[in-house]
Amino acid sequence: MAHPDDAEILIGGTLFHLKALGWELGILTMTSGDCGSATHTREEISRIRYAEAKAAAETLGAWYECAGLMDVEIFANAENQRRVVERMRQFNPDVVITHSPVDYMVDHEETSRLARAACFALSMPLYQTRQIAPAKPTVATPALYYADPVEGIDLAGERLWPQFYVDITETIEPKKEMLSCHASQRDWLRAHHGVDEYLNQMARWAAGYGEECGCNFAEGFRQHLGHGYPHSPVLQQALSSQLKSRKQPTE
Ligand SMILES: [Zn+2]
């Protein structure tokens, strides 16, 4: 994902379901959120948010790494690609979930491009990341999934429908707890809005997806089914008890 807290907001409930199934989880963010403050310096907020992201990942028992890019400067170029592939090779994932290729912020869209290209490059023995003591190429290309874009809409404001939903009614509380670890962002919004908008907004979005698929809270996903990527529905099968599809309109 692009920034600390994106994984929590977009797919946190699903991650807790996967944890309960015994999956080993890792979160890789492109940046440490170095522009996420109106009061701190970039260095200060970067350190604070890195620690918050690590603490959030710990509530999930997940590995956490940051690729060391800068906010609003995430671009799919060769140097950034090498950093992302290196960190993904370290974790060696079977499944990758990233941002929607179309999203409200270019940082998210470029992260999606980097993750998609990285999945393809992970197992290429001749693709070298030029790091000190580089991780080994992986054996296979991971299955690639896209989270819903923020607010579920494309650049023209149209709903970008998920292929499937995951019912997160049972994991909304740990999802909230995980998001609460990002105190700098929560406090900032609370001071600005006078209410706990950070948690409220996340819950509103999850409730909106829930309404679309007939449960209280949900998260939406699409699988990348282009040539060269695994087509087996590994995530859908693992989450079959929570899997939901869009309710058909009654009129
Ligand atoms: Zn973000």
Cα(100) to centroid(ligand 1), Å: 11
Closest-CA residue to 90 (of 112, 71, 118): 118
Cα(18) to centroid(ligand 1), Å: 22
Closest-CA residue to 103 (of 58, 146, 40): 146
Cα(33) to centroid(ligand 1), Å: 9
Cα(109) to centroid(ligand 1), Å: 10
Query: Cα-flanking dihedrals φ and ψ of residue 74, to 5°?
Result: -85, 115
* Domain annotation for the chain: domains and CATH numbers: 6-244 (3.40.50.10320)
Task: Give the model's pLDDT for residue 193.
Answer: 80
Cα(32) to centroid(ligand 1), Å: 11
Cα(140) to centroid(ligand 1), Å: 28
Cα(2) to centroid(ligand 1), Å: 5
Cα(3) to centroid(ligand 1), Å: 5
- Sequential pLDDT tens for the chain (251 residues): 999 999 999 999 999 999 999 999 999 999 999 998 889 999 999 999 999 999 999 999 999 999 999 999 999 999 999 999 999 999 999 999 999 999 999 999 999 999 999 999 999 999 999 989 999 999 999 999 999 999 999 999 999 999 999 999 999 999 999 999 999 999 888 887 888 889 999 999 999 999 999 999 999 999 999 999 999 999 999 999 999 999 987 65
Cα(60) to centroid(ligand 1), Å: 19
Burial 172-184 (b: 16+ CB within 10 A, else e): bebbbbbbbbbeb
Q: How far is CA 59 from the centre of its chain?
A: 16
Cα(177) to centroid(ligand 1), Å: 18
Task: Give the model's pLDDT for residue 250.
Answer: 64
Cα(249) to centroid(ligand 1), Å: 31
Query: Cα-flanking dihedrals φ and ψ of residue 30, to 5°?
Result: -70, -40
Query: Cα-flanking dihedrals φ and ψ of residue 171, to 5°?
Result: -120, 10
